[in-house]
Structure 1
Amino acid sequence: MKIVYFKRIILYGIFLISCMAFAQNKSERELVLIDKDWRFSFGHLYDTEKDFGHATGYFSYLTKTGFGDGPAAKDFDDRAWRRLNLPHDWAVEQGFSESGSFSHGFKTSGKGFPDKSIGWYRKKINIPETDNGKIISLKFDGVFRNSKVFFNGYYLGTEESGYNGFEYDISAYVNYGGENTIVVRADASMEEGWFYEGAGIYRHVYLQKTNPIHVAANGTYVTAEIKNKKAEVRAEITIENKGNYKGSIEVIQTIFDVSDKQITSVSENIDAPKFYKTAHYTSVLEVDKPLLWDIDSPNLYRLVTQLKQDGKIIDHYETPFGIRTIKFDPENGFFLNGKSLKLKGTNNHQDHAGIGTALPDEMQYYRIKKLKEMGSNAYRCSHHPPTPELLKACDELGMLVIDETRLMGINDYHLNDLKRMMERDRNHPSIICWSVGNEEWNIEGNIVGERVTNVMQDFAKSTDSTRPVTVGISSGFKSGISSVVEIMGYNYLGNGDIDAHRNQFKNQPGMGTEEGSTFATRGIYFTDDVKHYQSAYDRKPRPSFYSIEEGWKFYAERPYLAGMFIWTGFDYRGEPTPYGWPSVTSYFGMMDVCGFPKDNVFYLKSWWGTQPVLHIMPHWNWSGMEGREIDVWVYSNCDEVELFLNKKSLGKKKMELNSHLEWKVNYTPGTLEAIGYQNGKKVLIETQKTTGKPENIKLSLDKENPSKGNVSVITVEVTDKNGLHVPTADDEITFSIKGGKILGVGNGDPASLEKDQFIDAVSLIQIKNFQEQKRTVVALPNELQNYPENDWKTAFKDRDYKNQAPSYIYRGEFDLKDNQSSDIVNFFYKKIGVETAVFINGKKVKPSAGDSQKYILDSNILKQGINTIYIAATPLQKIKDWDVMNTDPGIIQVITPDEPWKRKLFNGYAQIIIQKEETADEIVLSASAKGLRAGSLKR
């Protein structure tokens, strides 16, 4: 669980200290967000030269401590690397290729693209001398994947999975009072899932500072038992001692409500753990008349754990939690706080249009709000541990969660991952079930599956005894895992006889962990296999599967089933079934990758929600199809609906529970109108009108946008002269922004190969054929001379550092293959001399004002193709015989500006995600297109 600390210091160049409700001192815990100002560059999967020579030294990082080489070295020159902020997904920035991975959306990243499968990240931070004596840690919420982390050249460790959070103690390696270097190498060449997973540091990174005696990582476990209108709260904590203190400490546990009012508090003196040991301590606190956490009133409490030593607070750790009861009953389904509740859930992966997996925190709230608006009350993390911010959003918005580990197994790799997930997440009241596997076809129906499930279930109970365990099963529901799992997870009605399994295992609760798997393209009403578009009408995707309506009816009619989780809430990148290239996203979602609703959303709102619903499909723009019969469907929870075409009634029909209504209508331009009746009275009117041609660009802040934060989701559309949305518009819209930046664009088109992001390309070009000649004078030339061609020799080869020339002239080449006049070309010089003069194609260039070792190269002196660089320098001298002298003259950086941000509308809509600059008063987004009136939005 990501703890929201009472004292939080955010590092954005300076420390911003939060307001605090009671006295603190410098020994307390600090959590520093270090997402800003990283350097990034691609390495290479197997070419060590392109991977900056990493792990090629005589002593590598695995041979001797502190021998990180290449970019892992503390003083590696990364000035030419791209500057960016986290979270970052480099895969979403890439283009598409038919040779890319089907499951990962055909992006040109991963094992088939070795030059885009390794990413290096570097960041420099200052840690004051006053922190000496504290425990300093680096905390990563997740890096995809197989990350290696270095600090000041010291190797800290490797985390294989891209979904696990991890932490490294760096206290011994810190340069206190000076500069420190963090380095991460991510290897995304191997896939963990069969869905888009992104690449890089796509979750948050923190610097944590604690007293040697502190609450351990994820070291609290809060449970509550309700008795006689009171809640008995048990707060178990794990205390760690990384120091030599051997006396007693005071443990103070205090509960606050959502308004920061103190509810209750207890304290006790205990012996501190021994050196590098842990101790467990439990407090029991009582909450009178607790406000229960539920989906409509997600009431949260806050446990504050303080440790005192000699009367001074040395640690302060906060744990949000909720008080609620859950129960899965084999006869009557799921109960929350003693009340029956049907689970109306969706499965979801973690990517979003335009930004891939690098979601700002605000986007987690945006997506959960979208699902809540649809009537959903439950979310299955498919198929891996989520980012902590997702669970925080579910806690605060009232969304139930199935939390799922990545892989089944009984060894340390599997069980340790499960334990880490559960210890991190078990204080979230939103979580109602742990999932230890999904569709493990090789073991689902045999004795191996039984054994593995029994071990993982019992292991899970040892970490959290308050929640049940499930597995999503798709191969028959007859034996193996199905016979022993605590909560049966049915994946798809067509995969087995659910009623028969229930009759055999009547004491086993069950739920549909995956149902639907239907195909639909937003705004498309006639399947077009050539364009890879599937009709949005809810029909069976294939004979053995069921429509959304068929699935919901099945689960709604069976009290013994706790509910169902649809595959999926949102479309996602990859798995473009039933098609392949050039489709790049799935078709399964109730919403597209942007969160724009497909028509199925309105079916679910009708029967999952609590508000009156009336929705007509399709739109009524069918030029050229006059007289053709069109299927008109109405989704509603009204008793009756009457349909009109141009004021003429087409009949009134009664709505059956969990159903929809259909009419056959010959197309005539005009207005379709539906009137909904409740108890014989008109309660709702809905229309679909034939529109005019597109004329105006309209930008609007999405109504489900978070109310706070710097990130905004903007809906882009066009309207006709009467202000009506044009549902068939496909105009290309170009964007510009002031006071902020654009994070990504999308439109929900599953076959779109348009860019998700428009980012200036940064290329690094090595200087080749680097040669030298000796000079007899110290003074450096202002103009190049004619140097004898036969006197050139390989630079630095067999250099006698005890007998060097007064100065040297060096010559090398760099190739600007596709140099454009708009390119920005810089030479980042790496010091090979005391005094230096640089010449490009015979012209002397001066260093830039801000960096004496950076040269900005004017386009007038550059050539297309091979360019020549000369460097005149007085030599560096060895101080000690074992000093390693730099022989690399530097790197050429080419910045190629990208096109303006743009995106085509798809069936009338596009989406753009923007972020306001911290210092800006407002953000202004402008949009233009050929033949349309421009639009703008201020935020």
Structure 2
Amino acid sequence: MRGLGRVLTFVLIATCIARSCSAVSELPDGYPESERRKTSLTTHWKFYLGDPEGNYYRSDVDDANWEQVSIPHTLKLTDINLDGCDDDKTQLTFHRIVGWYRRTINVSDNASKVFLEFEGAHQVTDLWVNGEHVGQHAIGGYTPFHFDITNFVRSGDNSITLRVDNRRREDTPPDPGPFDYVKFSGLYRDVFLTETGPLHVTFPWEDFFAGVMITTPTVDPLHGNATISVRTSVRNESVHAKECGVLTWIIDAEGMVVLRLWDTEHIAPGMDRTFNQCGGIEEGLRLWSCEDPYLYRVNTTIFDGDRVVDCVENPLGVRSVTLSKEDGVLLNGKPIELLGANRHQHYAFIGDAVPDSLHFKDVLQLKQQGMNIVRTAHYPQDNALLDACDRLGILVYEEPPTWIGIGNDAWFDNLERAARRMVRNHRNHPSVIIWGAGINHRGAVPRMHYAIKQEDPTRWTASNSAEWTGVQNSGVTDLFTNMDYDGIDDWTRNEFLLAMEGIATPENIALYSSDPMRLGLIHWTAHAYYTFHPTKHPGSRMRSGLMDGFRTKGIPEDATSGPPVAMRIVADMEGRELIADGSDIVMAFTSFVDQEGNTVPATDLDVHYSLIGPASIVGDGVIDGANPAPVSRGAAPVMIRTGLSAGEITIRAECPGFDPVETKVTSGPFNADWIAVNARPIYDLQRVRVDIGEKGQLVQFGWRPWFGENDQPASIALDFLSGVAVELKTGSDEGVTRWLGEMNVKGFHGFVMGEGVCVIDPEGFELVFSGLPPGRYALTTFHHAPVSNTNSMDPNRERLRTLNIHQIPVAKTVSVSAKSNSTNTEMTSGKVLPETGPGTATVHFDVEDTDPVSVHLRDDNGVRGVWLNGFELQEVR
């Protein structure tokens, strides 16, 4: 089954299945239809606050009067003063409450395995299905988990109940504290109903080998090639052994398959099997960088025999990251100055319950401010944040959930589990370059470093040091990452320093920019965050931040702006859509301007907001400062949450003494089919490459040989698509063909260009293709006149002297035409290929019937030899 023909057969099967099923399932072109279903459970939750010992999991519970909510959801909204709570940094009382969530889920008739998948919930989660207790997750609130509910559900409607418990625990980091951020509550990240067949890819956080892990063992930015290694774990939960096939597609940003990996294994009942596949992108490689965050996709399709049964996708960004004492951090071989910010996931009013769109907006704002790195202080953050960093080109330093405190043995066990889950969940994101392997302020923790290195040996670990921890344990990790608020000058000069916290003043930036041993500066913080630290602003528990908790950047104070005379309103829809799922949020801001149109930075005016359309104002009538909203940093913010119906939303701002202003936004419909929402086209277009020459030539790896003899009929049968025959015909009876097996031309694809066929004919010659199925094709021909670069080791040396093929006068320009399509190219020559490569010509043609297709090649200016070294034929869209 490992033979080339078998591989191509399965490739064609997968392509045909994908194309035929896409029309039925409304998946995009080429995306495989499988038994996997992933449904977003964002909407239609019932919520009840309190009563931790209640029996609300019972099927007969009357929840008619419970609040209807969508997730992400916090147990309780809070004002910017944390509702006046005076907790210290152990957070003894604030949000130390319990919430109950109930919902109906619909299980498919043919689902073999059924899971509930959680991206995160604060902080201990119990699940009941149809009144039966399924299990408890108690590792912590910042990493993903799932429950297998197969044995608790039936086809059709089922009742699920969650108790989400945020009470303080001694064994669940970052509890028992202290910590300088607030740990909010609730079902605050996405939840999914995932259904699969019995043969399926495992969840990545399950164990060391689970899920899909993608690495790039070698990346060569200079020559543009990379090795891609993909490890996939498949579980067989049927009662029968399975012959499992794994087809891995590497897909470029245009949807084109650039690499196929195929393997099969026998999997016994109830067992897992890990597939290890390795290949490479050898030409046309696009690197991922901060300036050009080019993303490939890795599509993993699972076969049960010849039937597609599962399909998952992961991102791939190909990049190399190294260190140099002369240049600091090198990204793809080029020095890069790391300048960024720390990011807490808090938003005003909603705490941690941030929709995906606002995670993206945070990253976009950092990018727009010229930053290239973010540290996820002090816990793993939402998948949406990592996705945004991948897409926008922001590097990531991510760390497990701690601050200063250390708990008991069970606490350390859970911290290690959380760290491992963090790595397993986000290891395929190219944006991640550093894992935190310390406890904030305390510095490096050997146990964390070794656990993370075991999970991912391809990235750096960082010490999470504070200035007072010194260098005594910085060397345990790869990077000495320290807090630099006052200037660090007493650290070991043979060690790299990354300021994981600091203030990005011009002086500090200049200091780090001028010293390659100082790798970069990460500002504290990107946004104001909730804390029980003392703050500088009375009535606010939001601290620090280049932007406030509403993501208002603010404007400098100006004693030149005049009094306010008018209002301006804007809704921040840049780079995003608005989805009617009951949880998506768009920020709108109203500012006051003077007679000259300048924004007035400070005013004691409040703005009252009202809406027309399917939306609501977050905290309206519940939270002080939500509506009316005071001006902060030059603008009065409002948070607009969508309803469950799509449509136009009018946002109106009013203030006594000013004309009202309005702006409009439109929400789109919500689609709970997570696979359909995220799937993109796959074009697995077939390609064949042919290396032409005399028998005995060294064939280019990955190319098919075509051997010919002088002045004899020449043809080849290719296993391309359903089988294609190619014939070389001279244009007249006077035509002469000379086939060469020389092999010593230096340069890229030198084995192809070092030999070929030289045709001398006043009418040129033809390549005739028979058996091509209907479709559109591109033919690229290669034209280089090789010059002998032989030595005594070469078997063709004497033959070359006799034939003197290399002395035949050759055409300067080759004309290539197919049907009505024609082009020409300059023929290259010599012992060494030019840096720009050989002469190439590409023609496109359509096949509509069974007639052969002829491609004509000739000397564009006379009757000299035309060299054809090889060709590439491929399907095109």
When normalised by structure 2's length, the TM-score is: 0.66
Deviation at 1:277, TM superposition (A): 3.4
Q: Is residue 147 from structure 1 mapped to residue 125 from structure 2 by the alignment?
A: yes
Q: Distance in 2 between matches of 1:17 and 1:927?
A: 44
Q: Distance in 2 between matches of 1:154 and 1:554?
A: 61
Q: Distance in 1 between matches of 2:453 and 2:250?
A: 26
Alignment of 1:692-841 (within 5 A): 692=563, 694-702=564-572, 704=574, 706=576, 709=579, 711-742=585-616, 744=618, 757-758=619-620
SS of equivalent residue, structure 2 residue 468: coil
User: Which residue of the partner structure matches residue 502 of structure 1?
Assistant: 492
Q: Is residue 41 from structure 1 mapped to residue 48 from structure 2 by the alignment?
A: yes
SS of equivalent residue, structure 1 residue 427: coil
Q: Is the 8 A contact 1:696 1:935 kept in 2?
A: no
Q: Is residue 194 from structure 1 mapped to residue 186 from structure 2 by the alignment?
A: no
Structure 1 residues 879-932: Cα deviation after superposition (integer angstroms, max 9, x where no partner): xxxxxxxxxxxxxxxxxxx99932111353122232444644311111112222
Deviation at 1:431, TM superposition (A): 0.5
User: Which residue of the partner structure matches residue 226 of structure 1?
Assistant: 219
Q: Is residue 20 from structure 1 mapped to residue 28 from structure 2 by the alignment?
A: yes
Q: Distance in 1 between matches of 2:458 and 2:592?
A: 51
Deviation at 1:119, TM superposition (A): 1.2
Q: Is the 8 A contact 1:29 1:208 kept in 2?
A: yes
User: Which residue of the partner structure matches residue 118 of structure 1?
Assistant: 98
Q: Is the 8 A contact 1:370 1:704 kept in 2?
A: no
Q: Is the 8 A contact 2:497 2:517 kept in 1?
A: yes
Alignment of 1:427-826 (within 5 A): 427-441=428-442, 444=443, 452-453=445-446, 455-476=447-468, 478-494=470-486, 498-503=488-493, 506=494, 508-516=495-503, 548-579=505-536, 582-586=539-543, 588-598=544-554, 617-620=556-559, 689-692=560-563, 694-702=564-572, 704=574, 706=576, 709=579, 711-742=585-616, 744=618, 757-758=619-620
Q: Distance in 2 between matches of 1:726 and 1:899?
A: 20
Distance 1:935 1:481, change over 3 A: same
Q: Is the 8 A contact 1:42 1:120 kept in 2?
A: yes
| Aligned equivalent of 2:245, options 246, 250, 259 | 250
SS of equivalent residue, structure 1 residue 716: strand
Q: Is the 8 A contact 1:197 1:351 kept in 2?
A: no
Structure 1 residues 150-186: Cα deviation after superposition (integer angstroms, max 9, x where no partner): 2222322122411011111000000223333232332
Q: Distance in 1 between matches of 2:394 and 2:440?
A: 24
User: Which residue of the partner structure matches residue 83 of structure 1?
Assistant: 68
Deviation at 1:30, TM superposition (A): 1.1
| Aligned equivalent of 1:342, options 317, 337, 341 | 337
Count residues with an aligned counterpart.
616
User: Which residue of the partner structure matches residue 10 of structure 1?
Assistant: none
Structure 1 residues 653-692: Cα deviation after superposition (integer angstroms, max 9, x where no partner): xxxxxxxxxxxxxxxxxxxxxxxxxxxxxxxxxxxx4313
Q: Is the 8 A contact 2:461 2:477 kept in 1?
A: yes
Distance 1:703 1:40, change over 3 A: closer
User: Which residue of the partner structure matches residue 606 of structure 1?
Assistant: none
Amino acid of the residue matched to residue 466 of structure 2? S
SS of equivalent residue, structure 2 residue 258: strand
Instruction: Point out the more displaced range, 465-474 or 483-492.
Output: 483-492
Q: Is the 8 A contact 1:576 1:585 kept in 2?
A: no
User: Which residue of the partner structure matches residue 690 of structure 2?
Assistant: none
Q: Is residue 73 from structure 1 mapped to residue 66 from structure 2 by the alignment?
A: no
Q: Distance in 1 between matches of 2:85 and 2:421?
A: 36
Q: Is the 8 A contact 2:56 2:161 kept in 1?
A: no
Q: Distance in 2 between matches of 1:926 and 1:709?
A: 20
Deviation at 1:483, TM superposition (A): 3.6
Deviation at 1:705, TM superposition (A): 5.4
Distance 1:912 1:99, change over 3 A: closer
Instruction: Point out the more displaced range, 346-355 or 32-41.
Output: 346-355
Distance 1:18 1:197, change over 3 A: farther
Structure 1 residues 71-105: Cα deviation after superposition (integer angstroms, max 9, x where no partner): 1223322111111100012343467444433559x
Q: Distance in 1 between matches of 2:424 and 2:484?
A: 31
Q: Distance in 2 between matches of 1:509 and 1:181?
A: 51
User: Which residue of the partner structure matches residue 426 of structure 1?
Assistant: 427
Q: Distance in 2 between matches of 1:140 and 1:908?
A: 38
Distance 1:102 1:276, change over 3 A: same
Unaligned 5+ runs, structure 2? 1-13, 16-23, 205-210, 666-877
Deviation at 1:561, TM superposition (A): 1.2
User: Which residue of the partner structure matches residue 838 of structure 1?
Assistant: none
User: Which residue of the partner structure matches residue 302 of structure 2?
Assistant: 307
Q: Distance in 2 between matches of 1:707 and 1:181?
A: 30
SS of equivalent residue, structure 1 residue 78: coil
SS of equivalent residue, structure 2 residue 291: coil
Structure 1 residues 395-423: Cα deviation after superposition (integer angstroms, max 9, x where no partner): 00110000111248995323222111101
Q: Is the 8 A contact 1:705 1:713 kept in 2?
A: no
Distance 1:229 1:158, change over 3 A: closer
Q: Distance in 1 between matches of 2:642 and 2:47?
A: 23
Q: Is the 8 A contact 1:379 1:400 kept in 2?
A: yes
Amino acid of the residue matched to residue 572 of structure 1? Y
User: Which residue of the partner structure matches residue 145 of structure 2?
Assistant: 166
Distance 1:485 1:558, change over 3 A: same
Percent sequence identity is 24
User: Which residue of the partner structure matches residue 416 of structure 1?
Assistant: 417
Deviation at 1:390, TM superposition (A): 0.4
Q: Distance in 1 between matches of 2:261 and 2:285?
A: 18
Distance 1:384 1:288, change over 3 A: same
Q: Distance in 2 between matches of 1:707 and 1:18?
A: 21
Q: Distance in 1 between matches of 2:469 and 2:278?
A: 43
Deviation at 1:216, TM superposition (A): 1.0
Alignment of 1:338-417 (within 5 A): 338-407=333-402, 412-417=413-418
Q: Distance in 1 between matches of 2:310 and 2:48?
A: 38
User: Which residue of the partner structure matches residue 830 of structure 2?
Assistant: none
Q: Distance in 2 between matches of 1:458 and 1:330?
A: 25
User: Which residue of the partner structure matches residue 846 of structure 1?
Assistant: none
Q: Is the 8 A contact 2:123 2:164 kept in 1?
A: no
| Aligned equivalent of 1:92, options 55, 77, 84 | 77
Distance 1:465 1:700, change over 3 A: same
User: Which residue of the partner structure matches residue 845 of structure 1?
Assistant: none
Q: Distance in 2 between matches of 1:926 and 1:189?
A: 42
Q: Distance in 2 between matches of 1:597 and 1:98?
A: 25
Q: Distance in 2 between matches of 1:736 and 1:209?
A: 42
When normalised by structure 1's length, the TM-score is: 0.62
Q: Is the 8 A contact 1:39 1:78 kept in 2?
A: yes
Instruction: Point out the more displaced range, 317-326 or 356-365.
Output: 356-365
Instruction: Point out the more displaced range, 702-711 or 371-380.
Output: 702-711
User: Which residue of the partner structure matches residue 791 of structure 2?
Assistant: none
SS of equivalent residue, structure 2 residue 155: coil
Amino acid of the residue matched to residue 492 of structure 2? R
Amino acid of the residue matched to residue 690 of structure 1? S
Q: Distance in 2 between matches of 1:743 and 1:335?
A: 46
SS of equivalent residue, structure 1 residue 394: helix
Q: Distance in 2 between matches of 1:242 and 1:111?
A: 44
Q: Distance in 1 between matches of 2:425 and 2:523?
A: 26
Distance 1:17 1:120, change over 3 A: farther
